Amino acid sequence: MTPQPKLARTRAIVLAAGLGTRMKSRLPKVLHPICGRPLIDYVLDAAEAATGGRPLVIWSPPVEAVRDAVANRADTARQAEPRGTGDALAAGLAGLASLAGPPPAELLVLSGDVPLVEADLLDALLAAHRASAAAVSLISVITADPGRLGRVVRDDDGEIERIVEARDASQDELEIEEVNSGLYAFDAAWVGARLADLLPSAVTGEIYITDLVALARADGRPVGSIQVPDDGTLDGINHRAELAEATFALQARINERHLLAGVTMHDPTTAYVDASVVLEADVTLEPNVRLRGSTRVGGGTVIGMGSQLVDTQVGRDCRILASILESSEVEDSVQIGPFAHLRPGSSIGTGSKLGNYAEVKNSRLDPGVQQHHMSYIGDAQVGARTNIGAGTITANFDGRRKKRTTIGADAFIGVDTMLIAPVEIGPGARTGAGAVVNRDVPAGKLAVGVPARLRDPRPEPEDLPPG
């Protein structure tokens, strides 16, 4: 579709003041996460792309958290009491009037609980609205299961005459299969003049935005529309089952984007990738992988079955096997796992290897470090090419404070070594198996025993003089 020009005086209003009681949650409905982001964020993305400007979000006191959640990317307006979509639109017009700059010429109105809506569809709605010089335009859907959605009533000429909400509809009207999607474009001046003429429903007491359609016809103004298939794209989220369905659809959309960009997924139905994740070409995701938040993965890296990465940057040509990485950094050509755990603040240098059940927390491992199985490195600096023997731990907490361990380059830490922080192991130093090290070990020295005693290391056979 050819992109439509963005008018400087087009503003989007996103309705998000509803309580969402069917979610059965303390969290406002539009803030429930879907593929790593609040579902309203996807609506704001589409609104920004279609209008080229900052949307206005309507909130109400029971869902005040919505205001705070969107404040960095949207203007907001308060609906004192949720009394229907027409009242919410009135709050939006009042909010726009309070902002600096000229008033908008047209309005794009969306529901905050429709996360699968895309900017191309909103562009098409605005194009149809402008082409017909309509007072109001809308998107309708033909469906065999109209449910609780408002029915679109057309006259004998096929023009939209009015919209009737399901709760107010007659039995004949309930048989109509064309329903209102809740997406509108308005002539801003016209809707500003006519909004006060909306009357509360005799059945529910709510003020409906849909009644503006009948007012436009009464004024002799065109009502524009476009029809779209019932493919779920415009379904609103009302309860957890619908949230799960939308998550599945959005995840498929995200995965397809990565597949087309050169990522391999052995089983895309079990690759759970947040919308914010960045994957380079030639990344491979094995089954049952979860990538969340600000995670980035470099080309040639394999994320093995069962791995979870959260807010973690992984370099190129790495292999992560059945491991959990959180808020950490992994450089190129690193091997991790299986069953390893990087806790927040960890940094793993190029070419390092971490074995099964190796754990790192808030530590830097320089390039070429080998940390073997059943080991824990916490609050430490480990020099390049150092060997961390199986069962090694840094005892970094004295009951009151965390303390650091420093290990120099080319050190050798024997199996089952306990390093009592704060302690420093010099470059090229060694510890014997089972040593408990509670004092510094100078460069090139050997620490053995409990507590560890210092001595010069025995020469290796290759170091002995000939004869």
Buried b (16+ CB within 10 A) or exposed e, 43-77: bbbbbbbbbebebbbbbbeebeebbebbeeebbbb
Q: Is 48 left (phi over 0), alpha (psi -120 to 50) or beta?
A: alpha
What is residue 462's predicted lDDT score, i.e. its pLDDT? 64
Residue-wise pLDDT for 322-334, tens only, equals: 999 999 999 999 9
Active site residues: 373
| pLDDT on residue 467 | 45
Walk along the chain (467 residues) in steps of 10 and give the mean pLDDT of each run.
Answer: 57 94 95 97 97 96 96 96 92 94 94 96 96 94 84 88 85 86 95 94 88 94 92 92 96 98 97 98 98 98 98 98 98 98 98 98 98 96 98 92 96 97 97 96 95 81 56
Q: Which fold has domain 10-228?
A: Spore Coat Polysaccharide Biosynthesis Protein SpsA; Chain A (3.90.550)
Burial of 288 (C-beta count, 10 Å sphere; 0-12/13-18/19+): middle
Contact yes or no for 301/286 (Cβ under 8 A)? no
Compute the mean pLDDT over every residue in the chain, rounded to the nearest whole number: 93
Q: How far apart are alpha carbons 391 and 374 in whole angstroms?
A: 5
Give the pLDDT score at 363. 98
pLDDT at 145: 82
Condensed to tens digits (0 to 9), the pLDDT of residues 4-52 reads 455 548 999 999 998 889 999 999 999 999 999 999 999 999 999 999 9
Question: What's the rounded Cα separation, in Å, for the pair 319 and 322?
Answer: 10
Residue ranges covered by each domain of the chain: 10-228, 258-456
How far is it, in rounded angstroms, from Cα 209 to Cα 184?
A: 10
pLDDT at 464: 53
| 222 cis-preceded (ω within 30 degrees of 0) | no
Q: Which residues make Cβ contacts (< 8 Å) with residue 221, sequence separation at least 6?
A: 134, 135, 136, 187, 190
Domain topology for 258-456: UDP N-Acetylglucosamine Acyltransferase; domain 1 (2.160.10)
Q: What's the CA gap between 224 and 137, in Å, rounded?
A: 4
Instruction: Return phi, psi of residue 256, to 5°.
Output: -60, -40
Amino acid 243: pLDDT: 96
User: What CA dihedral angle connects 226, 227, 232 and 236, to 10 degrees?
Assistant: 50
Which residues face 147 on adjacent strands?
Answer: none
HSE-up of residue 131 (Cα within 13 Å, Cβ side): 10
Cα separation, 295 vs 142, in Å, equals: 40
Q: Which residue has the tokens 């509108």?
A: 184
CA distance 308 to 273: 10
